[in-house]
Amino acid sequence: MEVKKLFDYSVGDNLEIYVLIKSAEARMAKNGKQFIAFNFADRSGEISAKFWDASAEDIAAFQTGKVVFLRGKRETYQDNPQIKIFNLRLAQDNEPNNPTDYLQTAPETRTEMEAEFKKFILKITEPNWNRIVRHMLNQHHEDFFEFPAAKKNHHAYAGGLAYHTLSILRLAQTIVEQYPEVNASLLYAGAILHDLGKTQELSGALGTTYTLAGNLIGHIVLIDEEIFETCKELQIDPESESVLLLRHVILAHHGLLEYGSPVRPRIMEAEILHQLDNIDASIQMMKTTLEHTEPGEFSERIFGLDNRQFYRPQQ
Amino acid sequence: MEVKKLFDYSVGDNLEIYVLIKSAEARMAKNGKQFIAFNFADRSGEISAKFWDASAEDIAAFQTGKVVFLRGKRETYQDNPQIKIFNLRLAQDNEPNNPTDYLQTAPETRTEMEAEFKKFILKITEPNWNRIVRHMLNQHHEDFFEFPAAKKNHHAYAGGLAYHTLSILRLAQTIVEQYPEVNASLLYAGAILHDLGKTQELSGALGTTYTLAGNLIGHIVLIDEEIFETCKELQIDPESESVLLLRHVILAHHGLLEYGSPVRPRIMEAEILHQLDNIDASIQMMKTTLEHTEPGEFSERIFGLDNRQFYRPQQ
Amino acid sequence: MEVKKLFDYSVGDNLEIYVLIKSAEARMAKNGKQFIAFNFADRSGEISAKFWDASAEDIAAFQTGKVVFLRGKRETYQDNPQIKIFNLRLAQDNEPNNPTDYLQTAPETRTEMEAEFKKFILKITEPNWNRIVRHMLNQHHEDFFEFPAAKKNHHAYAGGLAYHTLSILRLAQTIVEQYPEVNASLLYAGAILHDLGKTQELSGALGTTYTLAGNLIGHIVLIDEEIFETCKELQIDPESESVLLLRHVILAHHGLLEYGSPVRPRIMEAEILHQLDNIDASIQMMKTTLEHTEPGEFSERIFGLDNRQFYRPQQ
Amino acid sequence: MEVKKLFDYSVGDNLEIYVLIKSAEARMAKNGKQFIAFNFADRSGEISAKFWDASAEDIAAFQTGKVVFLRGKRETYQDNPQIKIFNLRLAQDNEPNNPTDYLQTAPETRTEMEAEFKKFILKITEPNWNRIVRHMLNQHHEDFFEFPAAKKNHHAYAGGLAYHTLSILRLAQTIVEQYPEVNASLLYAGAILHDLGKTQELSGALGTTYTLAGNLIGHIVLIDEEIFETCKELQIDPESESVLLLRHVILAHHGLLEYGSPVRPRIMEAEILHQLDNIDASIQMMKTTLEHTEPGEFSERIFGLDNRQFYRPQQ
Amino acid sequence: MEVKKLFDYSVGDNLEIYVLIKSAEARMAKNGKQFIAFNFADRSGEISAKFWDASAEDIAAFQTGKVVFLRGKRETYQDNPQIKIFNLRLAQDNEPNNPTDYLQTAPETRTEMEAEFKKFILKITEPNWNRIVRHMLNQHHEDFFEFPAAKKNHHAYAGGLAYHTLSILRLAQTIVEQYPEVNASLLYAGAILHDLGKTQELSGALGTTYTLAGNLIGHIVLIDEEIFETCKELQIDPESESVLLLRHVILAHHGLLEYGSPVRPRIMEAEILHQLDNIDASIQMMKTTLEHTEPGEFSERIFGLDNRQFYRPQQ
Amino acid sequence: MEVKKLFDYSVGDNLEIYVLIKSAEARMAKNGKQFIAFNFADRSGEISAKFWDASAEDIAAFQTGKVVFLRGKRETYQDNPQIKIFNLRLAQDNEPNNPTDYLQTAPETRTEMEAEFKKFILKITEPNWNRIVRHMLNQHHEDFFEFPAAKKNHHAYAGGLAYHTLSILRLAQTIVEQYPEVNASLLYAGAILHDLGKTQELSGALGTTYTLAGNLIGHIVLIDEEIFETCKELQIDPESESVLLLRHVILAHHGLLEYGSPVRPRIMEAEILHQLDNIDASIQMMKTTLEHTEPGEFSERIFGLDNRQFYRPQQ
């Protein structure tokens, strides 16, 4: 028998379910008592809940990364899904208490994705770019296939970084077929490395936060430095035109200075990478939000899309 | 023997060549005498030239749409290519004087494009959208395959409208394969119709200007009205959800109110169409500009891309 | 004896009063219990109130459109007027329970307004515009005199649409007298039709919401289509200059693309209509807000006027 | 026989005519020779012209404020009307050489306007405001009826300041009739004084420039100081609420801080005055520009209206 | 023995302490009962607290300006320090109940600051500026050394206005030494007077609010009028260049029209004063906020610095 | 006898003078002939001139970096100073033809500046920062004291980079004395390195252009990479907090993302450095521009200060 997941329950249903504590934050209520603001998760998605009148023991026990057995009711608070908690306890050793079983993951397996990345790397025919990409992917191989692509907003799940990158590569391939003037090697190399700095900017897949280097330097500059280092190690001139082009594509991929790129795109492939990055992130945000919206309704507001609400058609 | 075209000549070369007058405008020079500001064109591109001390007869003879025999020299003026005119006369009847032989055209033939459009239309499985698209494409069939996609900037050549549309459809197909949640029928139908209003907004492929309806109403509202009319004719309810969705996708395809859409995208397919439209137009503008830029140099400024200059790599 | 109305009571007063439920929304409180957020109304204005610890029966009974007998106290919450509810029950059949007796209405009677509209229509001397206006007003006659001009903000009361329109016409008349170059027929015709699309965009006078067509198409395009249809019906060429001018005046009346007009005003009458619309809406918002502000105090913030607070002088 | 004026001639016509030099600026041409850039004027409008190869004597003779006899041809340069000069000489004593006969003036006589101002002042029933307005108008009576309302853009003719003010008062009267909540005395008093500081900011009606006080202080603060002074003189407390209100209405009349008001409107009458000022200036700019535009054409760009071009209908 | 102050206690500590009520505001809680929102202060800083279930007597007793004896616990609410109140009573006559002993003050004594101001005034060698500055400082001497520089944000403590001014003067002195082209007299005179209008705009050092003149006129125009008055009194021509320069420096010191200056800086000293004002206010805001931030943490958001959070390094 | 310099001549004066060709650009005139657009320079400043009807020999001879003997006349063209050329020839060997004698230089000698830098470096007490700064200044010692601080705008003269840096350090010292909370070591180290990347971004002091790395990477990222490299070389952990702080101060010194910083200032010293950089550049631009403005006149527009014109007082 299939175990029901969080979003298999409708609003108003009572539920008894094992869930992961994706995040837990103790705060003081307006009445002066402590409560815990939870995000519970399983592979169907995330949902928030408040645990009122929390004791010091509760706060110590129910921490980020724990699996708990939850009895409660699915409700809605200000258009967002929410759980009303009746009862909560830690999952025991004889129960399904492995956190990674509850993390959302990319819709394709790591093995499939690894194979497809190999094919794309073969298409990078410029030797310097090919060596740099191989070397850097090797060094970050585990993190690249484990990390989310962002703290929240889009592709915020285990493997999201690799999946987002792969999705951009597929769009890039259509572009390259349509426009032979585009330098495929450069576009692919740039796409693969563009967000790799997130492995330094973010702390990991669970309870994701920004590192100090992430806050003070940012993933764009962090990865540029690493390309610079890699060139030295591989004895490639980091000031040669081919390396300057690759670095530029990555430095410029946020498109606008306002979005944190220190330079705007000044070669064609940089502009294209920026736009493909944007479109893939946008689709992912809309898709995730609409999955939890009823047909015929408007969704909650999407922060990363100018706080717009999107309509889910009835048909 | 291959006849040399405009951009086969390098800066400093003398040239003797038949070209089309793409536009001609008589103006007064600072010294009080008349001159003609020309845009000459053949299939290699467009180039400007000034004809000094023009007589009334010159102005009457050398008008938009005429083919002329030009003797002159290719030069550069403020980073833009330019012709210095030595001598100019109208092409005679026994000379290659058919204007359409000099118009730039889409890089694919009309027959190829028509065949591919048919395949895409077959993929529109929602019956109302399918009927509306077929009916409207039938009515504008000639114009759709003849018009440019814009007065200047991107795809400003004969067949540009169809080619731009097809290019978006191909990107849309990759999106649809990657994200099954996207409604392929709606995205394809919206893409095919999104710029069809340009056939009312613009005057045609040669000496393109805005019509009064183009200036006062704009192509976005013009095509929406035509969908409305088509529904009445085909006895489809224009207020049904499926038609509202199609109309919304088209009304919203400029993405931002500031760019002339009366509503922002509020369904997923509308946002996607907007972004695909944007990326295809951007690539076309960069590609066209870089074709006339020397390797190792920065291009002229591209108005439609925030006046940025793009670098053409040496390699 | 005059029955006291909502705003006849001062802050701190206890009140026993019949009021209309203008809107009612059930929500969950921070303590996990349900409450109802009310807007009560009578002809003196609107005021909010919270009904704590609401049972399922309460939520079922106290719905938008019902008249209730309210015992409570007038208070202030974060600078906004508010009612503290002691007791609430539905009004009975032998009590004043007719909802329309509690709706705010325009300060002039429908009969007076209808008469004045007739006079303005007589001044539209261009025959096409005159016929279009007459035909469309006939079709929407009831709605035009019943609808509010907006969901909230300005003229959000029964008859507000007609009253707002009439107020613009009176200002337009002064303009026309001062500047004979202005085309009075065009300005009057545009003014009368400019917001008529709201009858399709909004659901009605009570519990006003946006329709799906309102959300996805918007009142500006909806009314333009209807003019287009009307032309076909009356056998007027919708592409003639006179009709293009009328349609432009209406399409452009929001003034800026950012405010949802697909074109900016490009004829004098369009710019004037935009500014008169703006000034009348502004005055109405200030007037309504200042009515509930004490002399010598600053008002609550007005959303539609950049969140400014306005001072009500003591004298 | 009626003497033909500047704008009675069509493009291409030769003309022999007396005109006023509204402004004259000696510059160096690209060929290294001097020329004079003229604005010629008579009561039909202003037109520019270039006088090539000007000698030192020419520059000394043809100065701002002189009447000249001009032989030339009316042309068009980059969509703007222009004169090609054949011959130029100063008007003699037995010729019509009085500069003021060539200045454009308000469309109503000074006597008419003075009478109407008196009526409006009678409607200012608050005694402080009435005394302040009378006193300040008395002091600046001559300038108020002679000055333009701006250096260029709108009402840039002799008497323009008074005419613009009167036009606002007439619109204000319609507002006051429609909305009895508006304080008529305050709105009229503010309207009359709002631009009076221009008499200190600008140098006069002919060859208008900014004074140093205009450049460093600005007309808004200059007139506020004068109200302050007037209060002292009339022994009215400048910190009383009634005076603070009047000063606020004037300080805030540019509406936005970006437009030079040190405070945004925070009372109703200030917001209304701002909007009426705006609408009257806009109409005047459009009207003046369209007078020199052919039917069926778009005008030159209007700087004060976001550089928009306006269409002059054929009908 | 040193008495512990508010910020000597760590989060989680219980405290028994005398504090000043810097502000007290009675509000209604979501449960319908009254509470008081306090800001308590002593010389170590300010901290907020909520007093739940307040009776009418509590509200009457615990008002702004009173010293109270507080028993409670230091906590944190949404990253801001906060006190949980166990018990509260007014300080008695035999207890330390003098409000001014609890007000934060400038880090330098009034005597020291007065002496340093005298030295700077001696360096104002232009006689008009010197006389104006002396006269105006004399008139506002008490207020100038007592007032805060702002209602909140920066230098919001007794003596803050003088201290902020002095700090700017010291930076100005370095500028003057580095760039002899800068007019030291003008820069010093402008700096001393630039915020003096705050003594009319704000109500005082305790429970600071805006006056009506502050709201409707603003401190920039208020002080300009006073310079104008001072000139009349001292028989200095207010329209002379030297006075226009001084007035301009002060009118323009907010730098941008958007920040409330009616003119942008148009002389060098005005631009410099604007930038020095900005830098001193910024440092003060960062310093005050970081004092209450733990090493290794990011601070609360600073409103006056675009809501940025600042990091306090560990070292 | 003192030799007269360029700006010792008044408008209208004839001049015979040796000058340096700071830049020379051959262009085509509107009449189809070539001309050279020159910037001539000596230590009094720069001035533009046009050389009409230039032959191929002229273009070959008169190139950037040559000293020429010029006979001409000082004039004004559109408010900018300009030379009319009568005659031009290259300076001979027995004439003063050393280009560096004509370059503007910093107002202090290199020896003086070097000594003062040493004192500031002694005040950097944090050992890592001290070592990094010493090492990097050693490596770029020559360039640091030779380069301008910018291509144009501010400090665009030999030694400008060092002088601008020193000027910031002096302001920083006043800040540090006033606010002991500021980390002096960090502020000084950041100030010294903040623009050092310009030695890679720009080509040098004469005929300054951007390098490809400057265009595609930018000086902010270029210097950050070099700090990273330096750390590796000196065996300092580039991810330690102290190095992250230093790198952040430099990465953030443009203050806003829009100005090219990849992160906004998030520590106090970063915000201060940004503002000091800004104020010193602003003063330098105003000072340079006003030197060439007549007393009582407004200057030409300053691009780097929002195109404002500044007034030079008469006194």
Residue A159: C-alpha distances to residues A300, B179, D229 (Å): 25, 17, 73
The token pair that represents C30 in the structure block: 């921070």
Q: How far apart are CA E80 and CA E75, in angstroms?
A: 9
Inter-chain CB proximity E263 and D225 less than 8 Å: no
A32 touches chain E (CB under 8 A): yes
Domain membership flag for residue A203: yes
- Tell me what the mean pLDDT of segment D202-229 comes to: 89
D266 touches chain C (CB under 8 A): yes
Q: Which residues of A touch F216 (CB under 8 A)?
A: 244-245, 247-248, 251, 263, 266-267
| pLDDT over threshold 70, residue D79 | no
| DSSP 8-state secondary structure symbol assigned to residue A169 | H
At F223, is the pLDDT very low, low, confident or very high (cuts 50, 70, 90)? very high
- Kindly report the average pLDDT of chain A as a whole number: 90
E242 touches chain F (CB under 8 A): yes
| pLDDT over threshold 60, residue D174 | yes
Q: What is the pLDDT of residue F86?
A: 92
Nearest to A228 among F225, F239, F247 (CB): F225
**Domain-ending residue, one of C51, C70, C102:** C102
Helix (H) or strand (E) holding D282: helix D268-291
Q: Which residues of B touch A167 (CB under 8 A)?
A: 178
The CATH number for F43's domain is 2.40.50.140
| pLDDT over threshold 70, residue E310 | yes
**Percent helix, percent strand, percent coil in chain D, to nearest 5:** 45, 20, 35
Cross-strand partners of A289:
none
| pLDDT over threshold 80, residue B32 | no
Q: How many angstroms away from the CA of C310 is the closest CA of chain D?
A: 5
Least confident of A89-103, C141-155, D183-197: C141-155
Domain membership flag for residue B264: yes
At A204, is the pLDDT very low, low, confident or very high (cuts 50, 70, 90)? confident
Nearest to F216 among A213, A229, A263 (CB): A263
Strands (DSSP E) found in E78-203? 80-90
**Domain-ending residue, one of A102, A135, A161:** A102
- Tell me what the mean pLDDT of segment C102-127 comes to: 93
E218 touches chain D (CB under 8 A): yes
B297 touches chain F (CB under 8 A): no
Tokens 């090492």 belong to F135
**Percent helix, percent strand, percent coil in chain B, to nearest 5:** 45, 20, 35
Q: Which residues of F touch D31 (CB under 8 A)?
A: 31, 52
Q: Which residues of F touch D212 (CB under 8 A)?
A: 311
pLDDT in tens, C233-277: 999 999 899 999 999 999 999 999 888 999 999 999 999 999 999
Inter-chain CB proximity E266 and D241 less than 8 Å: no
The token pair that represents F302 in the structure block: 């300053």
pLDDT in tens, E85-104: 999 999 999 999 888 888 88
Closest CA to A9 of A69, A52, A72, A65: A72
Inter-chain CB proximity F28 and B75 less than 8 Å: yes
E307 touches chain F (CB under 8 A): no
Q: How far apart are CA C97 and CA C85, in angstroms?
A: 19
Is residue E213 within 8 Å of residue E200, measured between CB atoms?
Answer: yes
The residue of B217, B241, B244 whose CB has the most chain C CBs within 10 angstroms, and thus the best one to mutate to test that interface, is B217
Domain membership flag for residue F150: yes
Helix (H, G, I), strand (E, B) or coil at C307: coil
With a pLDDT cut of 70, the percent of chain B lying above it is 97
Least confident of A186-195, D38-47, D198-207, D248-257: D198-207
- Tell me what the mean pLDDT of segment A105-113 comes to: 91
Q: How many angstroms away from the CA of B22 is the closest CA of chain C?
A: 28
Q: Could you tell me the residue range of the domain that residue B207 belongs to?
A: 110-288
Inter-chain CB proximity A275 and B278 less than 8 Å: yes
Helix (H) or strand (E) holding B19: strand B14-28
| DSSP 8-state secondary structure symbol assigned to residue A195 | T
Q: How far apart are CA B101 and CA B93, in angstroms?
A: 14
The token pair that represents B43 in the structure block: 């299939």
Based on the domain organization, do F172 and F116 belong to the same domain? yes
Domain membership flag for residue C153: yes
Q: What is the pLDDT of residue A189?
A: 98
Helix (H, G, I), strand (E, B) or coil at D86: strand
Inter-chain CB proximity B28 and D75 less than 8 Å: yes
Q: Which residues of C touch A53 (CB under 8 A)?
A: none
C224 touches chain B (CB under 8 A): yes
The token pair that represents C123 in the structure block: 């001044």
More confident residue, C176 or F44: C176
Domain membership flag for residue A261: yes
Look at strands B45-51 and B80-90 and give their pairing. parallel
Based on the domain organization, do F140 and F242 belong to the same domain? yes
F250 Rama class: left (phi>0) / alpha (psi -120 to 50) / beta: alpha
Chains E and B touch (3+ CB pairs under 8 A): no
Based on the domain organization, do B277 and B202 belong to the same domain? yes
- Dihedral of the CA atoms E188, E192, E197, E199 (nearest 10)? 180
The token pair that represents F177 in the structure block: 């004395």
At A219, is the pLDDT very low, low, confident or very high (cuts 50, 70, 90)? very high
Q: What is the pLDDT of residue F234?
A: 96
Q: How far apart are CA E187 and CA C302, in angstroms?
A: 40
User: Which residues fall within 8 angstroms of residue F203, CB to CB, at 6 or more apart?
Assistant: F209, F210, F211
C75 touches chain E (CB under 8 A): yes
Nearest to E84 among A27, A32, A216 (CB): A32
E86 touches chain A (CB under 8 A): no
Q: Which residues of A touch C212 (CB under 8 A)?
A: 311
Q: What is the pLDDT of residue B30?
A: 63
CB pairs < 8 Å spanning E and F: 107
With a pLDDT cut of 70, the percent of chain C lying above it is 97
Predicted TM-score (pTM) of the model is: 0.87
Residue D76: C-alpha distances to residues B34, D9, D81, D83, F266 (Å): 11, 12, 5, 8, 57
At A270, is the pLDDT very low, low, confident or very high (cuts 50, 70, 90)? very high
Q: What is the pLDDT of residue A79?
A: 64
Nearest to F216 among A220, A225, A244 (CB): A244
- Tell me what the mean pLDDT of segment A196-201 comes to: 92
pLDDT in tens, E36-79: 999 898 888 888 899 988 888 999 899 888 999 999 998 877 66
Based on the domain organization, do E13 and E115 belong to the same domain? no
Based on the domain organization, do E96 and E154 belong to the same domain? no
Residues found in chain A: 315
Q: Which residues of E touch F167 (CB under 8 A)?
A: 178
Q: How far apart are CA B11 and CA B80, in angstroms?
A: 11
Based on the domain organization, do F146 and F182 belong to the same domain? yes
Is residue B241 within 8 Å of residue A315, measured between CB atoms?
Answer: yes
| DSSP 8-state secondary structure symbol assigned to residue F101 | G
pLDDT in tens, F241-253: 999 999 999 999 9
- Tell me what the mean pLDDT of segment C294-306 comes to: 90
Based on the domain organization, do E71 and E209 belong to the same domain? no
- Kindly report the average pLDDT of chain B as a whole number: 90
| DSSP 8-state secondary structure symbol assigned to residue F299 | P
Helix (H) or strand (E) holding F199: helix F198-201
- Tell me what the mean pLDDT of segment B196-204 comes to: 89
**Domain-ending residue, one of F102, F134, F168:** F102
Cross-strand partners of D203:
none
- Tell me what the mean pLDDT of segment A217-227 comes to: 94
Helix (H, G, I), strand (E, B) or coil at D61: helix
| pLDDT over threshold 90, residue C77 | no
Q: What is the pLDDT of residue E154?
A: 72
Q: What is the pLDDT of residue A235?
A: 96
Based on the domain organization, do A278 and A227 belong to the same domain? yes
| pLDDT over threshold 60, residue D1 | no
| DSSP 8-state secondary structure symbol assigned to residue C222 | H
SS (H, E, C) D140-186: CHHHHHHCCCCCCCCCCCECHHHHHHHHHHHHHHHHHHHCCCCCHHH
Domain membership flag for residue B310: no
Is residue F296 within 8 Å of residue F310, measured between CB atoms?
Answer: no
Based on the domain organization, do D58 and D114 belong to the same domain? no
pLDDT in tens, C207-231: 778 899 999 999 999 999 999 999 9
Q: Which residues of D touch C271 (CB under 8 A)?
A: 282, 286, 305, 310
C223 touches chain B (CB under 8 A): no
Report the amino acid identity of residue B80: N
At C22, is the pLDDT very low, low, confident or very high (cuts 50, 70, 90)? confident
CB pairs < 8 Å spanning C and D: 107
| pLDDT over threshold 60, residue A39 | yes
Residue C263: C-alpha distances to residues A36, B259, B285 (Å): 51, 9, 25
Q: What is the pLDDT of residue B79?
A: 64
Least confident of A226-240, C2-16, E255-269: C2-16
Least confident of A174-183, D104-113, F204-213: F204-213
Q: How far apart are CA F117 and CA F113, in angstroms?
A: 6
Chains that touch B (3 or more CB pairs under 8 A): A, C, D, F
Nearest to D30 among F29, F75, F84 (CB): F29
B298 touches chain F (CB under 8 A): yes
The token pair that represents F190 in the structure block: 């950041």
At B100, is the pLDDT very low, low, confident or very high (cuts 50, 70, 90)? confident
Q: What is the pLDDT of residue E20?
A: 92
Strands (DSSP E) found in D43-79? 45-51, 67-77
| pLDDT over threshold 60, residue F1 | no
| pLDDT over threshold 90, residue F25 | no
More confident residue, A120 or C208: A120
Tokens 């027995």 belong to F94
Q: How many domains does chain D have?
A: 2
Q: What is the chain B residue with the closest CA to A280?
A: B175
SS (H, E, C) D198-237: HHHHECCCCCCCECHHHHHCCHHHHHHHHHHHHHHHHCCC
Q: What is the chain C residue with the closest CA to A77?
A: C28
- Tell me what the mean pLDDT of segment A154-164 comes to: 87
Q: How many angstroms away from the CA of B18 is the closest CA of chain A?
A: 28
Based on the domain organization, do B88 and B187 belong to the same domain? no
The token pair that represents E42 in the structure block: 């002593």
Domain membership flag for residue E1: no
A97 touches chain B (CB under 8 A): no
Residue D40 has φ and ψ, to the nearest 5°, of -90, 150
The token pair that represents D186 in the structure block: 């305050």
User: Is F242 exposed, middle or buried (CB count within 10 Å of its CB: 0-12, 13-18, 19+)?
Assistant: buried
The residue of D199, D201, D228, D253 whose CB has the most chain E CBs within 10 angstroms, and thus the best one to mutate to test that interface, is D228
Tokens 């000044």 belong to A266
Q: How far apart are CA C272 and CA C278, in angstroms?
A: 10
What count of other Cβ atoms lies within 10 Å of the Cβ of residue E54?
21
Domain membership flag for residue D308: no
Q: What is the chain B residue with the closest CA to D72?
A: B32
Q: Which residues of A touch F220 (CB under 8 A)?
A: 262
Is residue E227 within 8 Å of residue E132, measured between CB atoms?
Answer: yes
Inter-chain CB proximity F29 and D27 less than 8 Å: no
Inter-chain CB proximity A268 and B275 less than 8 Å: no
Closest CA to B147 of B163, B159, B156: B159
Closest CA to F286 of E248, E188, E183: E183
Counting other chains too, the contacts that C170-174 makes at CB distance below 8 Å and 24 or more residues apart are C170/D174, C170/D177, C170/D178, C171/C276, C171/C279, C171/C280, C171/D171, C171/D174, C171/D175, C171/D178, C172/C272, C172/C273, C172/C276, C173/D174, C174/D170, C174/D171, C174/D173, C174/D174
Q: How many angstroms away from the CA of A225 is the closest CA of chain F?
A: 6
Q: What is the pLDDT of residue C186?
A: 98
Based on the domain organization, do D42 and D119 belong to the same domain? no
Chains D and F touch (3+ CB pairs under 8 A): yes
Q: What is the pLDDT of residue F30?
A: 63
Helix (H) or strand (E) holding A270: helix A268-291
At E33, is the pLDDT very low, low, confident or very high (cuts 50, 70, 90)? confident
User: Which residues fall within 8 angstroms of residue C265, CB to CB, at 6 or more apart?
Assistant: C248, C249, C252, C253, C255, C271, C273, C274, D308
Q: Which residues of B touch D77 (CB under 8 A)?
A: 27-28
The token pair that represents C24 in the structure block: 């009612």
Based on the domain organization, do C138 and C45 belong to the same domain? no
- Kindly report the average pLDDT of chain C as a whole number: 90
pLDDT in tens, E182-203: 999 999 999 999 999 999 998 8
C258 touches chain A (CB under 8 A): no
